[in-house]
Amino acid sequence: MASRSDVHEETNGSSRPASATGTSWAPGPAGMAVEEDHPDRLQQLARRNLWMHFTRMGAYDDHHAVPVIVRGDGCYVYDEHGKRYLDGLSALYCVNVGHGRAELGEAAARQIEQLGFYTNWSYAHPPAIELAARVAALAPGNLNRVFFTSGGSEAVESAWKLAKAYHRARGDMNRYKLVSRKLAYHGVSMGALTATGLQPLREPFEPLTPGGVHVPNTNSYRWSEDRDPLWAADAIEEAIEFQGPDTVAAVILEPVQNGGGCFTPQDGYFQRVREICDRHGVLLISDEVICSWGRLGHWFGSERYGYQPDIITTAKGISSAYAPLGAVIAGDHIAAPFLHDKESFAHGFTFGGHPVACAIGLANIDIMEREQLNEHVLANEGPFREMLESLRDLPIVGDVRGAGYFHAIELVKDKETKETFDSDESEELLRGFLSGELYRRGLICRTDDRGDPIVQLSPPLIAGPEQFEEIEAVLRPVLTEASERMERWSSPSKA
């Protein structure tokens, strides 16, 4: 049976509710309507002027409102009508310490009063210096050099350029290729997009940056049982050998792969990849844009799986998304060729290491340490997982996978055979029903079919049993109904 993972079908990268259904919103509870802006005005302006990312904007019209989120508090956000939603996705895997943290605003205000902006091009300023030192102290092994960016795509783009520049600086002039995994999402700028393994995101923008090489991911749910558990790691070596090792600059992998739905590594996977990279002089980049800052219960996802990358890319949770911030964290050996004589890494962004973003980053780490959020995730990931596992009795739930506060449920047409939904069915399931219905019932999570259809959860790190219960109270009836609807949709005669 062909898996959609193999053919990389995708109709849209969007996770947004109305991109699926054009759901019309119930009015907010009495007395809780939005105070200043009349909602209709915001709706009209949103439809007229705002270009939403990865969104089918044609889905919004007079009957189908744009979801407008106006306020956040802890694990919850509120729309323009005052309706409350459990933010089961931390916005986009990023508001790790939860919403409404006034102290992050205070840190920003203090920094703006002191120095609103200065650059990291030939200059330094205290927040960038302090945050670089703090990140280096938390990062594994010798990852002591921090190059700030404004987000994840910039971090990935920069890491690939750094890998190429590193090899050239050492006289290894031909290493430019980047190996990444199928279905993985590494961002959208041209270099990062080349690493991204999602064909529908790549195809409209081809030709991409030369040098992208894609290998299998670790989705063992779709493997035959007799497959060697480390075959996906070995496939990386095959690809490097096929390409010619002296042309390959780096391998980039997420600790847990987001695209396709939270694919965890097999035991020993990263250790095998590390050996392969070392054998061929290839750098290992750990793309932890999602999987750092407590998402997996550790500062960095590579710690959880016990491997040492040459470079980590991060963003999102580094500031809990209260300001745009990302970073490339490089090992001392990677930085060494650029630290003497007239050498430099000829690369930079105006806003990389913005002082306000760095001040927020420092305050964000303070919160994580004070509230022991890594420990909280490790203590609560079990109950979170158990809640999701309990949904396996539903006919539509094929697999539950992930780690920490980063999990996916794969939806299947037939549990026994693992038969997946075809494109039309998936469109009907996700956009015709699930995403709108989950949102209508007050749960924000991601429904996605960049591989096989999944529902994905990535709650703020402060979430606990109360939120897990709420998630189940929405998921169970909605997935039950989804199952029944798909049965009817696929076999209309039974309706």
Ligand X SMILES: Cc1ncc(COP(=O)(O)O)c(C=O)c1O
Closest CA to 364 of 98, 186, 145, 114: 98
Specify the residue, 84 or 347, whose C-beta has the smaller distance to ligand X: 347
| Distance of closest approach, residue 8 Cβ to ligand X, in angstroms | 17
Tokens of 311: 């470079």
Q: Number of residues in contact with ligand X, rule: CB under 6 A?
A: 13
Asked if 74 contacts 98 with a C-beta cutoff of 8 angstroms, the reply is: yes
Specify the residue, 23 or 314, whose C-beta has the smaller distance to ligand X: 314
The H-or-E segment that residue 193 falls in is: helix 190-195
Task: Tell me which of 34, 178, 232, 289 binds ligand X, using CB under 6 A.
Answer: 289
| Distance of closest approach, residue 316 Cβ to ligand X, in angstroms | 6
Specify the residue, 254 or 428, whose C-beta has the smaller distance to ligand X: 254
- 309 counts as binding ligand X under rule CB under 6 A: no
| Distance of closest approach, residue 290 Cβ to ligand X, in angstroms | 5
- 446 counts as binding ligand X under rule CB under 6 A: no
* Span near ligand X by CB under 6 A; candidates 78-86, 138-146, 149-157, 392-400: 149-157
* Span near ligand X by CB under 6 A; candidates 25-33, 147-155, 202-210, 422-430: 147-155
| Distance of closest approach, residue 19 Cβ to ligand X, in angstroms | 17
Q: Which residues partner with 419 through β-bridges?
A: 414
- Cα-Cα-Cα-Cα torsion 439, 82, 14, 208, nearest 10 degrees, comes to -160
Asked if 458 contacts 406 with a C-beta cutoff of 8 angstroms, the reply is: yes
| Distance of closest approach, residue 355 Cβ to ligand X, in angstroms | 19
In the bound complex, which residue of the shown chain has the CB atom lying closest to ligand X? 152
Q: What is the DSSP letter of 27?
A: P
Task: Tell me which of 183, 290, 321, 330 binds ligand X, using CB under 6 A.
Answer: 290
Distance from the Cα of residue 446 to its chain's centroid: 11
* Span near ligand X by CB under 6 A; candidates 163-171, 179-187, 329-337, 470-478: 179-187
Sign of dihedral through CA atoms 41, 44, 45, 46?
positive
- 449 counts as binding ligand X under rule CB under 6 A: no
- 258 counts as binding ligand X under rule CB under 6 A: yes
* Span near ligand X by CB under 6 A; candidates 287-295, 353-361, 395-403, 473-481: 287-295
Asked if 384 contacts 407 with a C-beta cutoff of 8 angstroms, the reply is: yes
- 151 counts as binding ligand X under rule CB under 6 A: yes
* Span near ligand X by CB under 6 A; candidates 120-128, 148-156, 172-180, 397-405: 148-156
| Nearest-angstrom CA–CA distance, 299 and 378 | 12
* Span near ligand X by CB under 6 A; candidates 124-132, 282-290, 300-308, 354-362: 282-290
At residue 313's C-alpha, the angle toward residues 308 and 315, to 5°, is 135
Complete DSSP assignment for 406-454:
EEEEEE-SBTTTTBPP-HHHHIIIIIIIIHHHHHHTTEE-EEE-SSS-E
- 185 counts as binding ligand X under rule CB under 6 A: yes
- 152 counts as binding ligand X under rule CB under 6 A: yes
Tokens of 228: 């060697």
Asked if 192 contacts 157 with a C-beta cutoff of 8 angstroms, the reply is: yes
Q: What does residue 472 show for φ and ψ, rounded to 5 degrees?
A: -65, -40
Angle (deg, nearest 10), helices 355-370 and 373-389:
70
Specify the residue, 66 or 159, whose C-beta has the smaller distance to ligand X: 159
Chain residues that interact with ligand X, rule: CB under 6 A: 151-153, 156, 185-187, 254, 258, 287, 289-290, 315
